[in-house]
Amino acid sequence: MIKGVVQFCVVALIIFATLSMSDAQPVDLQKCTICHGKPGHKKIEDSGYVKSLFVDETVLKKSVHTGKTCTDCHGDVTEIPHRALPKRVNCTRCHYRGNPIGAPQDVDYRAYLKSTHGQAAAEGNKEAPWCQDCHGAHNIRNHTDPASNIFHEKIPKTCGRCHMEIYAEYRESVHGEALYAEGNEDVPVCTSCHGEHDILSPKDPESTVYPVHVAEACSQCHAAETIMGKYGIDSEQVATYEESFHGMAGKLGSGTVANCASCHGVHDIRRPDDPKSSVYIENIPKTCGKCHEGANINYAKGKMHVDASKKEAGIIYYVALAFKWLTILTMVGLISHILLDLNKKAKNGRSKKAPRERE
């Protein structure tokens, strides 16, 4: 009887302890926040930079890692207080293909290692971005969350932490204007053109923004009628460029021929009617003059992105039409001449063979 009562009490204590612990914080988090839970906890680096070591628990609870403990990421912290400075967190501890804890597996780390950021990090550049520099440290959120550092609208600002001048140019561009002033979700951001984890130098032939690939990158939006149609923008610019001398030279691998960015700009693309635009009518001679020495105002008189198959092309349409029919009629005449000549030779052959058969 006494033994049964003791067993019942032990079971009851275990259940009570389990229920109590379910609402409590992980033990290691409680220990870590003794120091890191203080807003004034910081470290002054040799350069004089003051680095905050404060971790806001409310921020951590709203992140995608809300169920994790400190040592799940900071695996090298084995004692508290820790004497050695913890190393930078390695996200591949959990994020790898086939991981058993359900962490996203679609991250191509090999691509990052080959990227311009990964190569810089491998060379010892402490300023090179790692996962947490873009995704966040304790505030990591899903990319669909507006509070995430990698939410579509937030991406330029995130990249702008390092690329400040480019970010400033982008904000004033037609793309930045549409993104921030209009909240347009179709607008391209940094990753739309450069990629995400596989960002390569523009000088790398495999880069999405290598000169011969620029037209292809721009075509993702500008050749899509479903996107351009929403805003009344022609989607034929890419096709007309590809049919031009510049486009054909680019297809053949020329890295010096003009592409979309050569004329419209890179991060500072503006509307054609903007006086600051590189394709504003008064600026066209200067823009074309980058390649064509001596370019004058006459360069601005012609039409750009001309589709010779449409009457809107003016005299070019009629010249193209004339050449089209001239080519067709010439080919018809040539083929007819060949057929008539063959027919005549066949008749002559039969007429010469007939008398011999009579003999």
pLDDT tens digits, residue range 181-214? 888 989 999 999 999 999 999 999 999 999 999 9
Residue 315 domain-assigned (yes or no): yes
Q: Which residues pair with 51 in a beta bridge?
A: 43
Q: Is the pLDDT of residue 304 over 90?
A: no
Element spanning 170, H or E: helix 164-172
Residue 18 CA to residue 23 CA, distance in Å, equals 9
Burial bucket for residue 207 (CB in 10 Å: 0-12, 13-18, 19+): buried
What stretch of H or E contains 50?
strand 50-52
Are the C-beta atoms of residues 178 and 271 closer than 8 Å to each other?
A: no
Is residue 12 assigned to a domain? no
Alpha helices, DSSP H only, in 223-314? 225-228, 237-243, 245-251, 260-264, 284-288
Read off the amino acid at residue 36. Answer: H
> Residue 147 above 90 pLDDT?
yes
* Selected residue with higher pLDDT from 66 and 156: 156
**Crossing angle for the helix pair 164-172 and 174-182, to the nearest 10 degrees:** 80
Chain CA centroid to CA 272, Å: 24
> Could you tell me which of 171, 245, 252, 183 has the C-alpha nearest to residue 211?
252
Q: Is residue 166 part of a domain?
A: yes
What pTM did the predictor assign? 0.76
Give me 194's structure tokens: 């450069």
Does residue 71 have a pLDDT over 60? yes
Q: What is the total count of domains within the chain?
A: 2
Q: How far apart are CA 246 and CA 256, in angstroms?
A: 10
Top pLDDT among 128 and 243 is at 128
Using the 3D structure, point to which of 179, 199, 219 is the last residue of a domain.
199
Instruction: Look up the domain containing 322 and give its range.
Output: 311-335
In a domain? residue 330:
yes
- Per-residue confidence (pLDDT) for residue 353, from 0 to 100: 66
Work out the number of other CB atoms within 10 angstroms of the CB of residue 357: 6
Mean local confidence (pLDDT), 270-275: 94
Residue 327 lies in a domain: yes
Q: Would you say residue 235 lies in a domain?
A: no
Q: Judge whether 184 lies within some domain.
A: yes
Single out the residue in 199, 220, 250 at which a domain terminates.
199
**Domain limit, last residue, from 145, 169, 199:** 199
Question: What is the β-pairing status of strands 42-44 and 50-52?
Answer: antiparallel
Is residue 43 situated within a structural domain? no
